[in-house]
Amino acid sequence: MEENNFKFKINNEDWIIKELSQQEIKEYQKERSKFGYRDDGEECGRYYGVTYIDEQIIILDKDLPIQRKMKTLIHELTHCYIATTITHLENKYDEEFVADIVANSFYIILDVVTRYFQPNIKVNIDNDMLNRFFE
């Protein structure tokens, strides 16, 4: 399993993306709940993805179609970004705050998604624009 892990950084923190089957995800959830980690108590019908902030791991359903998997990864990476920049101390986000999160995290998330799915996807972004952003 370890060789299939994808490693990346968000805000200078190391993270891992794993792909597991539904059964493996549910077993992982149950194992965590034994050690006092929050368990919703209800069986989820299907997990598209889960982010474990304490372990800095994203788990994706390995059987999702690629478009759904991409959308799920973007969603989970947003959890990572929020956790590494603003935490969850602020429970209510107004529209301006959400817009700032999207604007500030866009290129970071795009970079991770693009590297994760290559060569399966082609992202049509002006490289000069990206280079200016990352200088």
Each residue's pLDDT tens digit, 59-94: 999 999 998 999 999 999 999 998 888 766 666 788
First to last CA, the chain: 35
**Arithmetic mean of pLDDT, 94-101:** 89
How many Cα atoms are found within 13 Å in the side-chain-facing hemisphere of 134? Answer: 13
* Cα four-point dihedral sign 61, 65, 70, 72: negative
Cis peptide preceding 65, ω within 30 of 0: no
The per-residue pLDDT for range 20-40, each reduced to its tens digit, is 999 999 898 888 877 666 555
Tell me, what's the pLDDT at 41?
Answer: 45
| pLDDT band for position 51 (cuts 50, 70, 90) | very high
| pLDDT band for position 1 (cuts 50, 70, 90) | very low
Burial class (CB in 10 A: 0-12, 13-18, 19+), 24: middle
| pLDDT band for position 56 (cuts 50, 70, 90) | very high
Residues 6+ apart with CB under 8 A from 91: none
